[in-house]
C-alpha cells in the first residue's frame, strides 16, 4: 500500500479524494482529460474509491498516462511541474488466462446496488473468502474497484479488471492461497 502523501502536493501516490478536498477545481481538470471521470459524480464512488485511489491507480483505470494526469492536475492547482517516469503510464497488462468468463465459479453484478448508493465490499469480500483455491470470481461494476482490488490482493487473490464499455467493468479475482498477496493488473 502506498505511503500517504500530503494533500499539499500532487504526486503519483497522492490520493484522489485528498486532492479533490484540497482543490475542488481539479474535478473540472479531470473531466477535461477524460469522460471516464464523469463517474466522480456518483456519490458512492466519491465516498469510497476516490477517497482511497492513488493517482497511479486512477491513471491505470482511466487510461490517461500518469505523466499527463499529474502534469494537468499540478497545473490546475497552480503547482510547478513534476517529472514522472515514463514507465508508469497506466498501460494495460496482458490478460491472464484465468481472467475469462468460462473460468468464473461465482459472479456478482453490483451496478444496481452502487447506483442505489449501497456498498458491495462486505458481500464481495465474504464471497471471495468462500472460494476454494484456484476458483475465479467475477465482479461487474460501473468503474474499476481499485480499493477492493487492493484489499483482495492482501487476502490472497490475483486480480484483473477489464473496462468493456462506459459503465461496464468486469473484475476477475482468482483465489490463490489464503494470507498471501496475489498480483493485480488492470486494463
Q: From 1.10.3910, 1.10.3430, 1.10.1160, 3.30.750, which CATH number describes the 1-91 domain?
A: 1.10.3910
Mean pLDDT, range 106-113, rounded to an integer: 94
Q: What is the pLDDT of residue 140?
A: 96
The chain-wide mean pLDDT, for the chain, equals 82
Give the pLDDT confidence of 128-166 residue by residue, as tens digits. Answer: 999 999 999 999 988 778 778 888 988 899 999 888 887
Q: What is the pLDDT of residue 96?
A: 92
Ordered by start, the domain boundaries in the chain are: 1-91, 101-186
Q: Supply φ then ψ for residue 120, to 5 degrees.
A: -90, -5
pLDDT at 182 over 90: no
Which residues have a Cβ under 8 Å from the Cβ of 62 and sit 6 or more positions away? 33, 34, 36, 37, 69, 90
- Residue 90 CA: distances (Å) to CA of 32, 43, 58, 180: 18, 25, 8, 25
Q: What is the pLDDT of residue 115?
A: 81
Q: Same CATH fold, 101-186 and 1-91?
A: no
Q: Which residue has the higher pLDDT, 46 or 66?
A: 66
Per-residue HEC secondary structure of the chain comes to CCCCCCCCCCCCCCEHHHHHHHCCCHHHHHHHHCHHHHHHHCHHHHHCHHHHCEHHHHHHHHCCCHHHHHHHHHHHHCCCCCCCCCCCCCCCCCCCCCCCHHHEEEEEECHHHHHCCCCCHHHHHHHHHCCCCCCEEEEEECCCCHHHHHHHHHCCEEEEEEEEECCEEEEEEEECCCCCCCCEEEC
pLDDT band at 35 (very low <50, low <70, confident <90, very high): confident
Q: Which residue has the higher pLDDT, 57 or 182?
A: 57
In this prediction the pTM is: 0.63
Which CATH code is given to the segment(s) 101-186? 3.30.110
d(CA 120, CA 116): 11
Q: What is the pLDDT of residue 84?
A: 81
Grid coordinates in use for 46?
Answer: 466519491
pLDDT band at 64 (very low <50, low <70, confident <90, very high): confident
Amino acid at each position: 500500500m502506498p505511503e500517504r502523501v500530503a494533500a499539499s502536493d500532487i504526486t503519483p501516490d497522492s490520493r484522489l479524494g485528498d486532492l479533490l478536498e484540497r482543490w475542488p477545481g481539479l474535478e473540472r481538470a479531470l473531466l477535461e482529460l477524460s469522460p471516464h471521470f464523469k463517474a466522480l459524480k456518483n456519490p458512492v464512488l466519491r465516498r469510497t474509491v476516490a477517497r482511497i485511489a492513488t493517482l497511479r491507480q486512477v491513471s491505470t483505470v482511466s487510461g490517461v498516462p500518469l505523466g499527463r494526469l499529474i502534469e494537468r492536475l499540478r497545473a490546475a492547482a497552480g503547482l510547478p511541474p513534476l517529472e514522472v517516469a515514463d514507465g508508469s503510464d497506466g498501460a494495460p497488462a496482458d490478460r491472464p488466462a484465468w481472467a475469462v468468463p468460462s473460468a468464473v465459479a461465482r459472479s456478482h453484478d453490483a451496478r444496481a446496488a452502487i447506483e442505489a448508493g449501497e456498498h458491495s465490499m462486505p458481500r464481495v469480500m465474504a464471497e471471495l473468502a468462500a472460494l476454494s483455491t484456484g476458483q475465479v470470481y467475477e465482479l461487474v461494476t460501473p468503474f474499476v474497484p481499485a480499493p477492493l482490488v487492493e484489499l483482495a490482493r492482501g487476502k490472497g487473490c490475483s486480480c484483473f479488471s477489464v473496462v468493456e464499455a462506459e459503465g461496464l467493468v468486469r473484475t476477475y479475482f482468482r483465489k490463490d492461497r489464503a494470507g498471501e498477496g496475489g498480483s493485480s493488473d488492470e486494463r
